[in-house]
Amino acid sequence: MFEARLTQSAILKKVLDAIKDLLTEATFECTDSGIQVQAMDNAHVSLVSMNLRSDGFDKYRCDRNLSMGMSIAVMSKILKCATTNDTVTMRAVDNPDTIEFMFDTPGKDVQAQYEMKLINMDQEHLGIPETVYSCVVKMPSQEFARIVRDLSQFGENITIACTKEGIKFSAAGDTGTANVKLAQTADSGESDSVTIEMQESVKLSFSCRYLNFFIKATPLCEQVQLSLSNDVPLVCEFNIGEIGHIKYYLAPKIED
Amino acid sequence: MAQRSITSFFKKI
């Protein structure tokens, strides 16, 4: 028996919004410690790694480890049927063919129940090596989203350059160039602060298309963490409230 | 510029 309950479906709705444009399907690994998802986009350019800890749920029970293949589009449709204040309960039997989503509206005697067929999926798990990154930048997630949106108008790629002076985002195309530079702020730990930990300067280019998928996670938290090293994938990390995190890995572009 | 694949960095296990 698997059962996981959140008194506010808002967080799960935001999680689905953060992955639905990037992933068509994903395997949800459920264990006693929580729910883990690792999945690549169809083009195998990026990887999503998500963790929802069992102690972050209002009720969590997982008697046997389950590996459930789910259609992200269908799951997203189902979560759209919940209002943000609804309590959401996910439930599955051992060796399930389906997963059940139940929504209870507080103060009302209404329960909505949706059952989704699970998908048989090939188990493809990638090993992500432990990496010490040359630059780790924490900045307001809304600021990052705005930069990605703004610069995407000017080119297909965004070049991120990080030095002691700050982090610079650039795009260039036929119509012109765009540059946004952020310096480290005096105070750290605030929601609007910019902090840069740098061992070595980096300069890498990434596809705007994918960065625009990642910023769909912006409503999840106020700060985003970008980890960069030359010639390795970017890690773009958002906390999922107090319950877990979502990390997007994006392979860099290289000169032709 | 050419796009690298994520699987060229992370191997299947």
Which residues from chain B sit within 8 angstroms of residue A127, using beta carbons? 10-13
Residue A124 has a pLDDT of 80
- Closest Cα in chain A, distance from residue B8 (Å): 9
Residue B13 has a pLDDT of 86
- Closest Cα in chain A, distance from residue B3 (Å): 5
Residue A66 has a pLDDT of 95
State whether residue A131 sits within 8 Å of chain B by CB: no
Instruction: Write the DSSP string, chain A.
Output: -EEEEES-THHHHHHHHHHTTT-SEEEEEEETTEEEEEEE-TTSSEEEEEEEEGGGSSEEEESS-EEEEEEHHHHHHHHHTS-TTSEEEEEE-SS-SEEEEEEE-TTS--EEEEEEE-B------EE------SEEEEEEHHHHHHHHHHHHTT-SEEEEEEETTEEEEEEEETTEEEEEEEPPPSS-SSTT--EEEESS-EEEEEEHHHHHHHGGGGGG-SEEEEEE-TTS-EEEEEEETTTEEEEEEEPPEE--
Q: Does B6 contact A127 at a Cβ distance shorter than 8 Å?
A: no
Q: Report whether pLDDT(A123) > 80.
A: no
- Closest Cα in chain A, distance from residue B9 (Å): 7
> Tell me: the pLDDT tens digits for A6-25?
998 999 999 999 999 999 99
Residue A187 has a pLDDT of 82
> Tell me: the pLDDT tens digits for A178-233?
999 999 998 877 889 999 999 999 999 999 999 999 999 999 999 999 999 999 99
State whether residue A40 sits within 8 Å of chain B by CB: yes
